[in-house]
Amino acid sequence: MTAAMAATHEVANQVPPLEGYDAYGADAWLRAAVARAKVPWVEAAAHALGMYVGSPEARHHAMLANRFTPELHTHDATGHRVDRVEYHPSYHVLMNRALNAGVHSMAWKCQPGGFSARAALFYLWNQLEQGTACPITMTFASIAVFDQAPALSRQWRPKVLADAYDPRPEPMARKSGVTIGMAMTEKQGGSDLRAVATVAVPDGEAWRLTGHKWFCSAPMSDGFFTLARVPEGVTCFFVPRSLPDGTRNTFLIQRLKEKIGNRSNASSEIEYRDTWAEIVGDPGRGIPTLISMAHHTRFDIIVGVAGMMRTALNHALHHARHREAFGKALIDHALMSNVLADLALEAEAAALLAFRLAAAFDAAVSGNAAQANLQRALTPVAKYWLCKRMTPVATEAMECLGGNGYVEESVLARLYREAPLNGIWEGSANVICLDVLRAFARSPEALGAIESEIAAGNDARIARRAQAALKLLRDPAAAESQARTVLETLAVCVQASLMKRHSEGAAAEAFCASRLDDGARSLGTLALDGAGLKAIAARAEMGSG
Ligand SMILES: Cc1cc2nc3c(=O)[nH]c(=O)nc-3n(C[C@H](O)[C@H](O)[C@H](O)COP(=O)(O)OP(=O)(O)OC[C@H]3O[C@@H](n4cnc5c(N)ncnc54)[C@H](O)[C@@H]3O)c2cc1C
């Protein structure tokens, strides 16, 4: 560069990168959650992971793993089928770091308090990278299904919980650690799993599967819980990628999805052709068998989204602190303070909800029936609501960075593409809402558990708002079309109750004032009857009128 060119290129008023900090040590909310859960033993691991998450090295790996996306090799050079996904080395670095830290395993190995301690680690991990979070979550959640299949569990559990990352395509017995996926969705439907068309036929003690799966993430995992049809109905099976004799099971990866976000993680379409499988649970009971895995995955999504909101907020605050406009730092402008404060309330209430649930999971492990009810009932409600809030939070945080937020070097750009995904998988919004309505109808104690949690906030406004949701719920003509309003209101009331108990007074007051009286905040919450809703939608259809 010539001196003349350099002279015109003075860089001013640009923000230093947000890196080189301890994402655990710097986070008072997270440290308070760990203290409330009485798990001080996780602090050393949380500081170590927090330092890693905040390091430029880890940030660089996260960027590379998402920029250089996985590639599928269906055949080797001499035409043999290999069905191998090649990841960028940074993906392996990240997986290795997370699994070595027990981000997938701690809940099952360290009781009491393991769910809360692990949630702290997973909350931190989601401030770094979400593509790796997918196999970490599925591996964590798989234990809930292994626990229903004692023989399979005896073989696989120790390797699932081994805190080792071993990506070699070898049989489980030869590996230091394994990861687990799940393959349920087919072309004709993902929400309605009763439509599964894959067929299973017996082969001695084992089974052979034939069919396709339309979405199968992390296809290099070592085993998959999957669904296939037998005469009794849809049934759960376990498909290992390698067979005990060392050969590869038939697991034909047809192509990888080209996704909006979550790009470091391969998501594939696969075919089973006479694929060897073991049955899990009773024939015809596949969906209830897999529900426990889906439930734990939903819990992880809540913790993950809370972590994603935390990192969005951190970047917005950091930028506003260092960037000047119109003569002063952005953070000192009254209107920007309003945006930042609102983001902070959202992220804090999300973290409180996530760690309250983690505590309920821990209490349930210790045999507390009321807390078991709470975690069962609140998990889908919180999953629905935090996923709905994630996209507006990512968008606002991005806007705080102005143009710098909209370029690929910015973490916000990746976070923005990531934001809607958790709302789609593991039960998209409407499906979750309908599940919750059915659960409330089946077991009134589920709703009771949420009501008790709301009441613990001891605040008349919160109680009044919750009553409005309960009234809708009791109205059979309104309950289904108003289900989003019901779930949103219950979630916000639990968050308000938690803010009253655990946040600072003014923040709790601001949360209640802005969230309880404002009415609904998401699309799909119009207060109209079925005919009114249909008429509006029909008027908008192409060709109408
Ligand atoms: C990146 C990515 C990775 C994935 N990885 C996996 C994986 O590893 N394994 C796996 O099994 N699946 C995976 N999935 C699939 C995912 O779980 C499904 O996409 C999801 O379950 C929704 O199913 P669907 O796509 O068939 O949509 P549909 O079931 O067709 O639903 C479409 C829309 O209709 C709504 N809807 C459905 N029924 C009703 C109703 N009764 N009333 C009102 N609204 C309704 C839904 O809420 C949704 O908004 C992945 C998806 C993505 C995007």
Element at 457 (helix H, strand E):
none
Contact between 386 and 305 under an 8 Å Cβ cutoff? The reply is yes
Answer positive or negative: Cα dihedral of 126, 491, 437, 384.
Answer: negative
Percent of all residues in the chain with a pLDDT value above 70, rounded to a whole number: 98
Ligand 1 geometric centre to CA of 111 (Å) = 34
Looking at the predicted structure, is the pLDDT value of residue 544 above 80?
no
User: Cα(290)–Cα(127) distance, rounded to whole angstroms?
Assistant: 28
Looking at the predicted structure, is the pLDDT value of residue 302 above 70?
yes
Give residue 490's pLDDT band: very low, low, confident or very high (50, 70, 90): very high
The best mutation among 66, 142, 179, 185 to test binding of ligand 1, ranked by most ligand atoms within 8 Å of the C-beta, falls on 185
* Residue minimizing CA distance to atom 41 of ligand 1: 431
The best mutation among 425, 434, 484 to test binding of ligand 1, ranked by most ligand atoms within 8 Å of the C-beta, falls on 425
Does the C-beta of 183 come closer than 6 Å to ligand 1? yes
Looking at the predicted structure, is the pLDDT value of residue 79 above 90?
yes
Give residue 405's pLDDT band: very low, low, confident or very high (50, 70, 90): very high
Task: List CB contacts of 41: < 8 A, sequence separation 6 or more.
Answer: 110, 117
Supply the DSSP string of 319-383, one letter for each residue. HHHH-EETTEEGGGSHHHHHHHHHHHHHHHHHHHHHHHHHHHHHHHHTT-HHHHHHHHHHHHHHH
47-61, 85-99, 471-485: segment of lowest average pLDDT:
471-485
Does the C-beta of 268 come closer than 6 Å to ligand 1? no
Does the C-beta of 422 come closer than 6 Å to ligand 1? no
Looking at the predicted structure, is the pLDDT value of residue 46 above 90?
yes
Looking at the predicted structure, is the pLDDT value of residue 441 above 70?
yes
Looking at the predicted structure, is the pLDDT value of residue 91 above 60?
yes
Give residue 60's pLDDT band: very low, low, confident or very high (50, 70, 90): very high
State the closest ligand 1 atom to the C-alpha of 431, by its place in the atom list counted from 1.
47
Answer positive or negative: Cα dihedral of 499, 505, 511, 517.
Answer: positive
User: Cα(446)–Cα(397) distance, rounded to whole angstroms?
Assistant: 35
State the closest ligand 1 atom to the C-alpha of 427, by its place in the atom list counted from 1.
21
The best mutation among 182, 184, 191 to test binding of ligand 1, ranked by most ligand atoms within 8 Å of the C-beta, falls on 191
The per-residue pLDDT for range 235-270, each reduced to its tens digit, is 999 999 999 899 999 999 999 999 999 999 999 999
The per-residue pLDDT for range 502-519, each reduced to its tens digit, is 999 999 999 999 999 766
The per-residue pLDDT for range 333-392, each reduced to its tens digit, is 999 999 999 999 999 999 999 999 999 999 999 999 999 999 999 999 999 999 999 999
The per-residue pLDDT for range 306-326, each reduced to its tens digit, is 999 999 999 999 999 999 999
Mean pLDDT of the chain: 95
User: Cα(356)–Cα(85) distance, rounded to whole angstroms?
Assistant: 38
Closest-CA residue to 526 (of 458, 455, 472, 466): 472
Looking at the predicted structure, is the pLDDT value of residue 5 above 80?
no
Q: What pLDDT sits at residue 520?
A: 62
Percent of all residues in the chain with a pLDDT value above 90, rounded to a whole number: 91
Residue written as token pair 């996904």 = 85
State the closest ligand 1 atom to the C-alpha of 267, by its place in the atom list counted from 1.
3
* Residue minimizing CA distance to atom 52 of ligand 1: 425
The structure's pTM equals 0.96
- CA 442 vs. chain centroid, Å, equals 26
The per-residue pLDDT for range 178-237, each reduced to its tens digit, is 999 999 999 999 999 999 999 999 999 999 999 999 999 999 999 999 999 999 999 999
Ligand 1 geometric centre to CA of 427 (Å) = 7
Does the C-beta of 262 come closer than 6 Å to ligand 1? yes
